[in-house]
Amino acid sequence: MWEIYRHIPSREVFTLWAALSAIATHTYADIEYNTAILLNAPKPAYDTSQARPALRLNKPAIGSINSLGQLAGMGDAGSNLLPKDTRPFFYDPAQHTAANLGDLTGDFAFQSVSPRNDLSKATDLNDAGWVVGLSSTSTTIGVTDDRPFLWFDDDANHANTPGEMRQLNLNPGAAYGSALRVNNNNQVLIHGDTGLYRASFSLGAGVLTETTTRSFIAPAADIADMNDLGNVAYTAGSAAYVWRDLNNNNTADVNETTQIPFMSAVSPNAAVYAINNAGQVAGTMRNDNAREIGFIWTDLDNDNTVDFTDANGNGFFEWNETSNEVLRFSGAGGLNTSIGNTFVFDINDHGTAIGGYFNGSDRKAFVHDTLTGIRYLDDLVDPAFTLNLREADAINNAGVISAVGRAPGVDTNQLVLLTPPATPIDGDLDGDGFVGINDLNLVLGNWNQTTPPGATQGDPSGDGFVGIEDLNTVLGNWNAGTPPGDAQRSVPEPGGLAMFF
């Protein structure tokens, strides 16, 4: 289990370990939208103040959101002809700026009538702000004008500057290609007519260098995602796969690729859209009625196999069969998959997933976690918010969601950023948003004392006594949160203290 955490910082490892431990004690089954759960569940008032940012793009379609809440995607260049006249864009909510990245020809201009039908788009970005995507001056996808690119804001002016968009080499033997994903280890998924490859890069002094031989993953891919370990989930035709480089040789060896099982012999179809750093995979399976059923797969025993009870003995994960590793989004009521479709488009490292339920003209965005189940995002925003949230496309580890909204009676989609309310951090006794020396002093200063009910003088457990349990809470969450000032930024781990269990 610990192999998957080799390159992840210790605090994030603890979070992932806790999430997987909770999952391991939870038996997965088919789930449904439950109104009783919704009524009793906490209703976070998602902040919509950053909804509909002033992008000079009429129809945004978001590709990705990073830990800073920055977005990469595509939008039209002013002619309202998506997807036939698009440009990649990069949006920074902290700066309230949107950069039109144009294409490798240097076309950054917004034009009411474009001389070309460009299909350029940004598909992903990492926490360093690297943006990858497709640059094209063609009228159709899959021709020699398609080129993979990587963009970085070298001069930090929050706009595209000539030279900041770099053309990436095509895959071996390829005539065209596009960059699909980039992770926080500077690995890029590049696809073209000769297959799907993983490449690694470094960027210094404005020079982009490819650092290793490319890893061949699969002959084809329609959709793909990659986590920070370089594990890849991809869809090829009607089938979905997950590749993990188990022996770290940068090659997709036999037994390293897992196929997601089909639900139905009548409609054998599956797709994957996301893989998180805990290795959880999200996507859809198609049932006998040709309806899409969203799912999350967690490889609990780390055997690189989707385990299920194949009661019918035919290799299909059918409706009447169960799995402790697979959660399927289905059922009566809000998610009526006999007449509608459910898609899970993204999942963050805490296991919170987002997606959409589509039933004809009825489209609803949802969020799901293991504690409260599925909730429609329309129910979690201010009732005065005028857009109907139709689809959630991306979520980061802070819980910020990128969604698509539409005003009643209007056919134009608008970008919506949903920011969850701040949640208290265990061990943050002084309420400054950071667990550090001040909180430890509160525990030690009140050691072996009783406290009034509800007080926080060193008693995060709330049992009325300051002791070992409270000390462990502070030490177990040490350095969690954001330091309020420079005084605590250099506080080391409390190496001289040990946690007591």
Summarize pLDDT for 220-252 with one digit per residue, the tens. Answer: 999 999 999 999 999 999 999 999 998 888 888
Work out the average pLDDT over 175-189: 96
Give CA–CA dist 31/42, Å, rounded: 19
Q: What is the mean pLDDT of the chain?
A: 79
pLDDT at 95: 80
Indicate the SS3 state at residue 378. helix
CA distance 352 to 15: 13
The set of residues, in sequence order, having a beta carbon less than 8 Å from that of 390 and lying 6+ positions away, is: 356, 363, 364, 365, 403, 404, 405, 406, 413
- Are residues 312 and 13 in contact, defined by beta-carbon separation less than 8 angstroms? no
**CB neighbours of residue 117 within 10 Å:** 16
pLDDT value for 492 = 47
Q: What six digits make up the tokens of 130? A: 């690297």
Highest mean pLDDT, choosing among 260-274, 369-383, 390-404? 260-274
Nearest to 408 by CA among 375, 374, 363: 363
Give how far Cα 307 sits from Cα of 28, 138, 295, Å.
12, 44, 14
d(CA 52, CA 343): 23
Residues recorded for the chain: 501
The arrangement of strands across the sheet holding 223-226 comes to 223-226, 232-236, 239-243, 257-259
- Among 256, 346, 356, 363, smallest CA distance to 304 is for 256
- Token pair for 269: 């179809």
- Check residue 124 and give left, alpha or beta (phi > 0: left; psi -120 to 50: alpha): beta
Distance of CA 386 to the CA centre of its chain: 26
pLDDT band at 142 (very low <50, low <70, confident <90, very high): low
Segment 17-29 shows an average pLDDT of 32
Q: Is the pLDDT of residue 28 over 50?
A: no
Given a cut of 50, whether residue 279 has pLDDT beyond it is yes
User: Cis peptide leading into 453, omega within 30 of 0?
Assistant: no
Does the pLDDT value for residue 301 go beyond 80? yes
Q: Are 481 and 439 in contact (CB under 8 A)?
A: no
* Highest mean pLDDT out of 22-26, 111-115, 307-311, 429-433: 307-311
pLDDT of residue 213: 92
Mean pLDDT on 389-408: 89
pLDDT at residue 383 in the model = 82
Q: According to the model, what pLDDT value does residue 53 have? A: 44
pLDDT score for 19:
32
